[in-house]
Structure 1
Amino acid sequence: MKTLYTRIILIYILTFIISLVAAVVTVSYLVDKKYSREQENLMLEQGQSFIQLYKSVPDKELLKSTYNGFLESLYLRIQLYDGTGDIQVFGSQRKEITKISDEIVQSVKQGDVYKSEKDIFGYMTVGLPFTVDGEPHAVFVYIDDGGMTKDLYKILNIGLFVAIMLGALLILVVSRYIVHPLTKMTDVTKKLAKGQFDVQLHSKRKDEIGTLSRSIDAMAKDLSRLEEMRRNFISDVSHEVQTPLTSIRGFSKALKREGLSEMERIEFSEVIEQESERLSRLCRNLLSLASLESDQHPFDPTSYALDEQIRGLILKTEPQWLEKELELEIKLPKATIEADRDLLYQVWMNLLQNSIKYNHQGGKIRIWLRPKGERVQVGVEDTGPGIADEDQRHIFDRFYRADSSRTEKTSHGIGLSIVKRIVDIHQGDIHVDSQIGSGSRFVITLPLRQKR
């Protein structure tokens, strides 16, 4: 009973038995309703025919021997009560006499026609009166239930045997047809649980089992991609962590050397400090991205002036863009937005710092804001080296580096991943347009009000 296969077989067998019993009851009811009148008429006709033959044939033993076979073929018995009280049975080799009360016999002899109630098998008895030589006789016609029941049981037994054997065979085949794909699914899910994601069911069925099979195939592909992403993530993190650690370890050993000048000692210390800050930023960004992707990061939208937030960031990064002699073109009309101020701060800071880092000395940065109905667009454009078309599809992936020219100054490959996640949380979208040698343009579209 613990296996689905056994349960299906038992359910099918139980259903088959219930259906069979219901069919027998229904057929019996319909047959009885349709043929009860025919049965009565048949018995009356045979009774009258017997009376005529009995009166016309002098040799009663010859009548019995010739008439018995005919009655047996109709499953009928005739019980005759003559004027002397003797009882004769026609239509059966058996000598048993069916008990009929004396009151009924006398009533029929006196000229009444008798019709009994049906018994549990739907059979009835008919009694007819007649006289021979002035003596009253009574003849009773009834079903020879012994012969009929024997033949009926034989037919039913054969029919039931064939139905049960054929039904059992069909149940076994159909059950295996249903359970087999479920067994394969079980094997596949066990492999998935063990980390074997290169499994597919390739089901072509169009029913619910086929839908479930395709869902498992899709899940296996997703798990395979997640596993690949996990391995790449671990590899990338290890590489990103290893690089500053190698620098820190190397310059720490260099500080131990004797004979270092004060200038060299300061220079080595600054490198160690920079690499430590780089490692710290990486850890903060990893924690921030993990928190954002967990759907448990605090999200506190408030209404504030978006244009003023961006202006404040531009002023905060002034030393950086002045150092590279960058020209800034700013178009920030007043715009009020309902959003999480701290999260969007990370978005604008990341994009602004990237446009400064990847720009040429003396280049240009254009920052603009444009209200559009119920939404607002913010653009950050630079005149840096640009991003190749094949790289633009991946710049929001973790640790993806567009080209070697950005490797030294990239925000450890997850800054834009954080930007994309924050924009998604605000039900917005981000678009990048870039060409090699012509700079890059990032456009973020956000709703002015968050949906509740």
Structure 2
Amino acid sequence: MIKSLYVRTVLVFIGAVILSLAVSFAISDQLYSRQLDGLVEEQMIRNGRHIISSLQQTSPENRDAFLNGFSLLYRIEIYNSRKQPVYNNNPQGPLGFFGEAQIGSVLSGGIYHGKASHIGRGPYLLIGLPMQLQDQNYALFFSPRFESIETLSDKFRQSLLTVLAIALAVGSLLILIFARYIIQPLRKLNAATRRLAAGDFSVALRSKRKDEVGQLTNSFNYMAGELGMLDRMRTDFVNNVSHEIQSPLTSISGFTKALKHKRMDEAQRLRYLTIIEEESERLSRMGQNLLRLSSLQSGHQPFHQKPVRLDEQLRNVVIACEPQWKSKKLDIELSLAESVLDADEDLLSQVWTNLLHNAIKFTPESGRIHISLAESEDNVTVKVADNGIGIDEADRGHIFDPFYKADKSRTAAVKGNGLGLSLAKRIVQLHHGEITVESQPGHGTTFTVSLPKAGGHSVSN
């Protein structure tokens, strides 16, 4: 079995060319043979009538000599009204491919069309024409001595076969060249795919073609770019996870070693234990968030949709977070319209909790947080706004990336693992909604969540 696409393409094209040439040869041969028969027959009838006309104008004693003058061109036989031969210039004898019935038909004014062979050659076209000499009816039969129709047809076929053979050779050569032009980009794609499979995501193919192969090349380049970006994201993700895990583990390890020393008062020991507890809880939360984010991204997170009183849910989240915002003496303002939404209550509660925690973390003491809920015909919109430190423009496009944290110098004192907003965005997308951010450094941040009233769930999205 032929495995090479190039060879198969060439063979298919050559096969198609051969089939086309064979059909063309058969059709051309049939058309030419019929046309040639008709043309030769018409010409012979005209020549025969010209011989008869000249013979009628020739005196009786000179007629044989006149007819003998055509012996190099035609074999001629003449029959009288009694169907008896009166003239024959054929040394080999009568033409003999017609009988009395054919002679009688010609004597009655008909035209005979037939074929005759001479000494094993031919067949030659044979024509019979009626003729009158001195008020007597005669039948003139004649056949050409030059090449037969079959010989002319054979020569035509040979010429046609030669032309078709040349066309096949040239066509095959061109097919070899053009097939390479078609297959070469696929070979490059194959080689590039192997490099991509080996982990080389920098591979890129150049193509100026606008056809399907060019589109395939562009799609491959796009795929390579996307895979490269995913690989970089994976690397960054692993590095971030390692860093986020290493930080609390280092603290826990250091303070655990310090606790082994007996020379330590109770207050200092309690402070160390408190730090170890906080770092352990931080690791636990990060593990839970990682599991939930992975579950959401893979589509394995259970989705239980039911009507949810959104305004009551927001109030409950604010109440649950009261210790955090009270400890910073923050002012919480609520502007909530009564609204019912088809959604997963637990997942949606996670969104509001993450957004509120985020606002509390980045709002200074005695600051203000405003939560609003508005309803339109098709959507509900929730806004969580604070007057905190804000977000730089360069950071806004990345704040929903896992483990991404804005300017470290401005957020060093703020604890977190950078997963909250990633979870929030994925949950909002799961509800066919949209989450956006508006912020200016030093003037606070506003997160806006827009959700369709019909809710939704599509893991593939």
The TM tier, using the shorter chain, reads: 0.7 to 0.9
Aligned to 1:379: 383
In 1, the alpha carbon distance for the partners of 2:394 and 2:69 equals 111
In 1, the alpha carbon distance for the partners of 2:41 and 2:221 equals 69
In 2, the alpha carbon distance for the partners of 1:251 and 1:213 equals 57
Aligned to 1:40: 41
Structure 1 residue 373: Cα displacement: 2.4
Aligned to 1:208: 212
2:414 to 401, 409, 434: 409
Q: 1:292 to 1:52 in 2, by over 3 A?
A: same
Aligned to 2:433: 428
Describe the SS at the equivalent of 2:44.
Answer: helix
Structure 1 residue 308: Cα displacement: 0.5
Aligned to 2:65: 58
Structure 1 residue 138: Cα displacement: 5.0
Aligned to 1:328: 332
Describe the SS at the equivalent of 1:42.
Answer: helix
Opposite residue 343 of structure 1, the aligned amino acid is L
Decide whether the 8 Å contact of 2:25 with 2:161 is kept in 1: no
In 1, the alpha carbon distance for the partners of 2:317 and 2:339 equals 16
Residue 346, structure 1, aligned to residue 350, structure 2: yes
Q: How does 1:129-168 map to 2 (within 5 A)?
A: 138-141=140-143, 144-168=148-172
Q: 1:300 to 1:374 in 2, by over 3 A?
A: same
Structure 1 residue 430: Cα displacement: 1.4
Q: 1:224 to 1:41 in 2, by over 3 A?
A: same
Residue 390, structure 1, aligned to residue 394, structure 2: yes
Q: 1:241 to 1:287 in 2, by over 3 A?
A: same
Decide whether the 8 Å contact of 1:105 with 1:138 is kept in 2: no
In 2, the alpha carbon distance for the partners of 1:63 and 1:79 equals 8
Q: 1:326 to 1:33 in 2, by over 3 A?
A: same
In 1, the alpha carbon distance for the partners of 2:376 and 2:45 equals 99
Describe the SS at the equivalent of 1:352.
Answer: helix
Q: Which runs of 5+ in 1 are unaligned?
A: 69-76
Residue 220, structure 1, aligned to residue 218, structure 2: no
Q: Deviations over 1:334-356 (max 9, x none)?
A: 11111111111110000111111
In 2, the alpha carbon distance for the partners of 1:327 and 1:97 equals 132
Describe the SS at the equivalent of 2:65.
Answer: coil
- More deviation in 283-292 or 140-149? 140-149
Decide whether the 8 Å contact of 1:331 with 1:367 is kept in 2: yes
Decide whether the 8 Å contact of 2:354 with 2:420 is kept in 1: yes
Structure 1 residue 316: Cα displacement: 1.0
Decide whether the 8 Å contact of 1:241 with 1:279 is kept in 2: yes
Aligned to 2:8: 7
Q: Deviations over 1:219-273 (max 9, x none)?
A: 1111111111111111111111111111111112112223233323222222222
In 2, the alpha carbon distance for the partners of 1:367 and 1:251 equals 40
Structure 1 residue 193: Cα displacement: 1.6
Structure 1 residue 123: Cα displacement: 8.5
In 1, the alpha carbon distance for the partners of 2:102 and 2:289 equals 110
Opposite residue 112 of structure 2, the aligned amino acid is Y
Q: 1:79 to 1:14 in 2, by over 3 A?
A: farther
Describe the SS at the equivalent of 2:435.
Answer: strand
Q: 1:123 to 1:265 in 2, by over 3 A?
A: farther
Structure 1 residue 81: Cα displacement: 7.0
Q: 1:204 to 1:398 in 2, by over 3 A?
A: same
State the identity as a percent. 37
TM score, norm. by length of structure 1: 0.86
Aligned-pair Cα RMSD in Å: 3.3
TM score, norm. by length of structure 2: 0.84
Question: How many residue pairs get matched?
Answer: 436
In 1, the alpha carbon distance for the partners of 2:76 and 2:262 equals 138
Decide whether the 8 Å contact of 2:106 with 2:112 is kept in 1: no
Aligned to 1:440: 445
Structure 1 residue 411: Cα displacement: 2.8
Q: How does 1:267-282 map to 2 (within 5 A)?
A: 267-282=271-286
